[in-house]
Structure 1
Amino acid sequence: MNTVTDPQLLIARQRAVVAALRARLPAHCVLFNEEDTRPYECDGLPAYRQLPMVVALPEDEAQVVAILKTCRDLQVPIVPRGAGTGLSGGALPIVDGVVLSTAKLNKIVRIDAYSRTAVVQPGVRNLAISDAAGPLGLYYAPDPSSQIACSIGGNVAENSGGVHCLKYGLTVHNVLRVRMVTIDGDVVELGSEALDAPGLDLLAVFIGSEGMLGVVTEVTVKLVPKPQCARVIMASFDDVVKGGNAVANIIAAGIIPAGLEMMDKTSVRMVEPFVKAGYDIDAAAILLCESDGTTEEVEEEIGRMIAVLNHAGATAIAVSQSEAERLKFWSGRKNAFPAAGRISPDYYCMDGTIPRKHLAKVLLGIADMETRYGLRCANVFHAGDGNLHPLILFDANQEGEFHRAELFGAEILELCVEVGGTITGEHGVGIEKINSMCIQFSPEEREAFFGVKRAFDTAFLLNPDKAIPTLVRCAEYGKMHVKRGQLKFADLPRF
């Protein structure tokens, strides 16, 4: 796809696109003045920014169809956008394209207590589903840290997880059906509200496709009953290796906690003054292990986990005695990202997944990288399923620090691949990890990904140049490999 960058041509293109969209949408649904489009220049990864040419805000499915058909006819690329909380640059605008925000598609269509499902539009916030289902004794299980703000459409695009994904699964395990619009303006339903759907399982292909295959207009999610009881163990360790081994030992004992999270000393010390969750600030690592179910089930599982933790070398163990205390224990983990701002001007949040047995090895590897790159790293992660979230702390005002943070992050992802893991767990690839895809996948595998993309979007207009690297990009990355100290994203705009 040839990108228009000449200022005069861009102005002419913008006028044509605005005129075409306003012929099919209300004027207030099409934004093009800089003061209106500036809020859409980035997602939750603000290091990469691009002012959108046009922002479209459809209010119903018919308007989504109109936008897609118009952009297809004009050969204008489209970047679908949810709440903008993503952390991989997946919603980064394209200089000569349209950002299609689903923020106004925010209705809860219905909640069915008998089938335990909710039908919602993509702009509905993750937590709003549980709030609406709460009076029926139900809730939506996937709970990303941004659940008070992130939208279900964005969760579908990124296959989001959360602290309870170990027991209850990621978005892909909790969505039954998606209604979406293709680049040609066709409305398609994937999956079914029944227990199974005929034909190919395209729903699983679509979830996690980062807006490259279609635009979501409606989602049917599973609801689960609120557990009768839930309690959290907070265990301290004087060594991160012991903490990492404890995680593997819990799973090896046949225990699947509702949540199993780990934080290192740096993250604990940045969070505790902010939240006052009662964390042990002298511990090298702490584990949060939650059990839920009936009172008897929880009591039995808590006892089994305490035995494993003690055997693994825990130096202190506390168990929540009330719902308020349980929520307080979790509040520190949920607020780890904003708490980073208390000790560093900027942070770069990574997202990789590794086999649980290698947690200790990877944590030690990250500690070595801290020394080599001269940057601190706070580690918070979904330890139960090996999903790491290292927060690399830096100061963008200091020349070269963000560059070092990028190199640091890329090396962490390479280490994840080296130990048999992957470069992402729940944040997606976007533009942040697109070069790391060259390390993870072979040319043949990447071409297969492009084959799926072409099947849905022959013209490559939906979120182009994201998630799947071209052969040319990978060839260039081979020459500019992170260990050679070259810039990771030399071709991206910087503001």
Structure 2
Amino acid sequence: MNAPVQPSFAPARQREVVDALRRVVPAHCVLCDEEDTRPYECDGLAAYRQLPMVVVLPENEAQVVAIMKTCHALQVQIVPRGAGTGLSGGATPIADGVVVSTAKFNQILQMDKYSRTAVVQPGVRNLAISEAAAPHGLYYAPDPSSQIACSIGGNVAENSGGVHCLKYGLTVHNVLRVRMVTIEGEVVELGSGALDAPGLDLLAVFIGSEGMLGVVTEVTVKLVPKPQAARVIMASFDDVVKGGNAVANVIAAGIIPAGLEMMDKTSSRMVEPFVKAGYDIDAEAILLCESDGTVEEVEEEIGRMTDVLNASGATAIACSQSEAERLRFWSGRKNAFPAAGRISPDYYCMDGTIPRKKLAQVLLGIAEMEKKYGLRCANVFHAGDGNLHPLILFDANIADEFHRAELFGAEILELCVEVGGTITGEHGVGIEKINSMCVQFSPAERETFFKLKRAFDPAFLLNPDKAIPTLHRCAEYGKMHVQRGQLRFPDLPRF
């Protein structure tokens, strides 16, 4: 196991920052002892750790303003943090920086059933919004697998999605307004409670910016009516290529399911003993296809999807007959990540997006990489919108296995770009994928990203060294690049 990360900041600097912060916020909000700051050394990407110099937990917006002004004056770097469930290292601390956690901002401020909106603080859990809206027959649509724990502020930072994002969209499609504090301590509102807002669409720029532009203090989200009915088809396939092609066939038929997910045999076999979802563990791939709406709409769409899946080579089809069975089908998919612990000491979760028609090609490519790196990979996908989540299984106690997992993951992302996709879908870039940004974006494009960053944060104090790679980093990564422009897996069919 890796040894605990040791402090790497100057004690005098820590005292200076702690004293300054305790002059503007209550002393109990400022953590500086190692036993108190240790829980903040990483987010969900636990392979990368850094003990923070100071952690501060403000209790109201005025305190956030004071913290930002203080850190700006002292030129202290800040890492905003939500619930810490992120999987790309977006909330990884900086050695001599301050972590600003919004965990105490956990109030639902307003629930309006008439406008179908909710005003919430950033520390409110994703699932808590739907629970509060349920008496009004409403819910918040984006549902990441971590929705029981993740916070809406973190969802805004990472532009999170979930299994129903195909029909209902990502966070950016479900947030109307964000109130945030800049690095200089200015309170700014982006977007509006109305359908549109004057000026540039900075709300869409801010959502997914990974805490690099400001600290969220309030969010207005859309709520949608709970459908009258919802049912899920579980379709089995004896070949992953057939399963991948079936995804494209469903969309090509003009059907937009509420959810369209895919799992390979490795994933199904690790999940089924964990949650007993009723999965076909002998199938090479299974698809979960959900329809929601009125009873009549669901019945008609389920019939159409069944026809498409049968025509695509499904070997077995089961359809949920009750709400309990529907939730059980989804429980397996949503518990895929924790279930990985049943078959592997560690896993490395990737996140890339590809054109749907390339799904089968990428699955075959990943299978070849398993041989190349000597590691297993369990594949779970938001297949409907081409968002992949390969889980690379490894053992950190074995020398070089994590390094091989990193190389494996980087090559998956390069393959995503090669087939016309992108290196991320809903997990953000953080520190995990920063080198892969060099593969996808040109120097001119990266400089445009930096110009936007400078407009909000000229001194680069907010979550620096995340998401956007420098020219120097990309030059160094290019020297290590092993492909040299050659086509990978030339023997595989190019769909």
Q: Give the match's secondary structure for 1:105.
A: coil
Q: 1:274 corresponds to which residue?
A: 274
Q: 1:318 corresponds to which residue?
A: 318
Q: What amino acid maps onto 2:363 in structure 1?
A: L
Q: 1:459 corresponds to which residue?
A: 459
Question: For each residue in 1:414-466, what CA deviation from the matched residue of structure 2 results, as whole angstroms up to 9, or x when unmatched?
Answer: 00000000000000000000000000000000000000000000000000000
Q: Give the match's secondary structure for 1:18.
A: helix
1:410, 1:482 within 8 Å by CA — same for their partners in 2? no
Question: For each residue in 1:141-168, what CA deviation from the matched residue of structure 2 results, as whole angstroms up to 9, or x when unmatched?
Answer: 0000000000000000000000000000
Deviation at 1:10, TM superposition (A): 1.2
Q: What amino acid maps onto 1:157 in structure 2?
A: A
Deviation at 1:182, TM superposition (A): 0.3
- Does residue 90 of structure 1 match 2:107? no
Deviation at 1:188, TM superposition (A): 0.3
Q: 1:298 corresponds to which residue?
A: 298
Deviation at 1:9, TM superposition (A): 6.5
Q: What amino acid maps onto 1:29 in structure 2?
A: C
Q: 1:415 corresponds to which residue?
A: 415
Question: For each residue in 1:7-26, what CA deviation from the matched residue of structure 2 results, as whole angstroms up to 9, or x when unmatched?
Answer: 89611110000000000000
Q: 1:162 corresponds to which residue?
A: 162
1:411, 1:482 within 8 Å by CA — same for their partners in 2? no
Supply the distance in 1 between the matched residues of 2:453 and 2:395 (Cα, whole angstroms).
Answer: 38
Q: What amino acid maps onto 1:68 in structure 2?
A: M
Q: What amino acid maps onto 2:246 in structure 1?
A: A
Alpha-carbon RMSD: 1.2
Supply the distance in 2 between the matched residues of 1:159 and 1:279 (Cα, whole angstroms).
Answer: 30
2:8, 2:96 within 8 Å by CA — same for their partners in 1? no
Q: What amino acid maps onto 2:395 in structure 1?
A: D
- Summarize the Cα distance change of 1:37–1:164 in structure 2 as closer, same or farther, 3 Å threshold: same
Supply the distance in 2 between the matched residues of 1:8 and 1:407 (Cα, whole angstroms).
Answer: 28
Q: 1:469 corresponds to which residue?
A: 469
Q: What amino acid maps onto 2:474 in structure 1?
A: C
Supply the distance in 2 between the matched residues of 1:79 and 1:461 (Cα, whole angstroms).
Answer: 9
Q: 1:375 corresponds to which residue?
A: 375
- Summarize the Cα distance change of 1:8–1:288 in structure 2 as closer, same or farther, 3 Å threshold: closer
Deviation at 1:198, TM superposition (A): 0.2
- Does residue 228 of structure 1 match 2:264? no
Supply the distance in 1 between the matched residues of 2:261 and 2:60 (Cα, whole angstroms).
Answer: 39
Q: What amino acid maps onto 1:406 in structure 2?
A: E
Deviation at 1:480, TM superposition (A): 1.4
- Give the TM-score of the pair, scaled to structure 1: 0.96
Q: 1:493 corresponds to which residue?
A: none
Q: 1:14 corresponds to which residue?
A: 14
- Summarize the Cα distance change of 1:16–1:403 in structure 2 as closer, same or farther, 3 Å threshold: same
1:160, 1:426 within 8 Å by CA — same for their partners in 2? yes
Q: What amino acid maps onto 2:256 in structure 1?
A: I
Question: For each residue in 1:310-365, what CA deviation from the matched residue of structure 2 results, as whole angstroms up to 9, or x when unmatched?
Answer: 00000000000000000000000000000000000000000000000000000000
Question: For each residue in 1:239-278, what CA deviation from the matched residue of structure 2 results, as whole angstroms up to 9, or x when unmatched?
Answer: 0000000000000000000000000000000000111111
Q: Give the match's secondary structure for 2:63.
A: helix
- Does residue 202 of structure 1 match 2:188? no
Q: What amino acid maps onto 2:422 in structure 1?
A: T
Q: 2:153 corresponds to which residue?
A: 153
- Summarize the Cα distance change of 1:32–1:244 in structure 2 as closer, same or farther, 3 Å threshold: same
Supply the distance in 2 between the matched residues of 1:21 and 1:381 (Cα, whole angstroms).
Answer: 44
Q: 1:136 corresponds to which residue?
A: 136
Q: Give the match's secondary structure for 1:148.
A: coil
Supply the distance in 1 between the matched residues of 2:304 and 2:7 (Cα, whole angstroms).
Answer: 66
Deviation at 1:481, TM superposition (A): 1.6
- Does residue 351 of structure 1 match 2:351? yes
Deviation at 1:397, TM superposition (A): 0.1
- Does residue 254 of structure 1 match 2:277? no
Q: What amino acid maps onto 1:166 in structure 2?
A: L
Q: Give the match's secondary structure for 2:10.
A: helix
Q: Give the match's secondary structure for 1:377.
A: strand
Q: What amino acid maps onto 2:405 in structure 1?
A: A
2:7, 2:53 within 8 Å by CA — same for their partners in 1? no
- Summarize the Cα distance change of 1:9–1:86 in structure 2 as closer, same or farther, 3 Å threshold: closer
Q: 2:399 corresponds to which residue?
A: 399
Q: Give the match's secondary structure for 2:430.
A: coil
Supply the distance in 2 between the matched residues of 1:13 and 1:381 (Cα, whole angstroms).
Answer: 45
2:7, 2:51 within 8 Å by CA — same for their partners in 1? no
Q: 1:479 corresponds to which residue?
A: 479
- Summarize the Cα distance change of 1:470–1:331 in structure 2 as closer, same or farther, 3 Å threshold: same
1:58, 1:102 within 8 Å by CA — same for their partners in 2? yes
Deviation at 1:62, TM superposition (A): 0.4
Q: What amino acid maps onto 1:377 in structure 2?
A: C
Q: What amino acid maps onto 1:58 in structure 2?
A: P
Q: 2:362 corresponds to which residue?
A: 362
Supply the distance in 2 between the matched residues of 1:86 and 1:26 (Cα, whole angstroms).
Answer: 28
Q: Give the match's secondary structure for 2:476.
A: helix
Number of residue pairs matched?
A: 480
Q: What amino acid maps onto 1:380 in structure 2?
A: V
Q: 1:489 corresponds to which residue?
A: none
Q: Give the match's secondary structure for 1:55.
A: strand
Supply the distance in 1 between the matched residues of 2:314 and 2:59 (Cα, whole angstroms).
Answer: 53
Structure 2: tracts of 5 or more residues without a match: 1-5, 485-495
Q: 1:487 corresponds to which residue?
A: none
Q: 1:491 corresponds to which residue?
A: none
Supply the distance in 2 between the matched residues of 1:107 and 1:374 (Cα, whole angstroms).
Answer: 47
1:407, 1:482 within 8 Å by CA — same for their partners in 2? no
- Summarize the Cα distance change of 1:89–1:242 in structure 2 as closer, same or farther, 3 Å threshold: same
Q: What amino acid maps onto 1:99 in structure 2?
A: V
- Does residue 307 of structure 1 match 2:307? yes
Supply the distance in 2 between the matched residues of 1:247 and 1:376 (Cα, whole angstroms).
Answer: 24
Supply the distance in 2 between the matched residues of 1:8 and 1:129 (Cα, whole angstroms).
Answer: 39
Deviation at 1:483, TM superposition (A): 4.6
Q: What amino acid maps onto 1:262 in structure 2?
A: M
- Summarize the Cα distance change of 1:482–1:163 in structure 2 as closer, same or farther, 3 Å threshold: farther
- Summarize the Cα distance change of 1:482–1:33 in structure 2 as closer, same or farther, 3 Å threshold: farther
2:9, 2:53 within 8 Å by CA — same for their partners in 1? no
Q: What amino acid maps onto 2:198 in structure 1?
A: P
Q: What amino acid maps onto 2:446 in structure 1?
A: R
Supply the distance in 2 between the matched residues of 1:131 and 1:104 (Cα, whole angstroms).
Answer: 19
1:72, 1:461 within 8 Å by CA — same for their partners in 2? yes
- Summarize the Cα distance change of 1:456–1:113 in structure 2 as closer, same or farther, 3 Å threshold: same
1:179, 1:189 within 8 Å by CA — same for their partners in 2? yes
Q: Give the match's secondary structure for 1:196.
A: coil
Supply the distance in 1 between the matched residues of 2:352 and 2:25 (Cα, whole angstroms).
Answer: 41
Q: Give the match's secondary structure for 1:216.
A: strand
Q: Give the match's secondary structure for 1:119.
A: strand
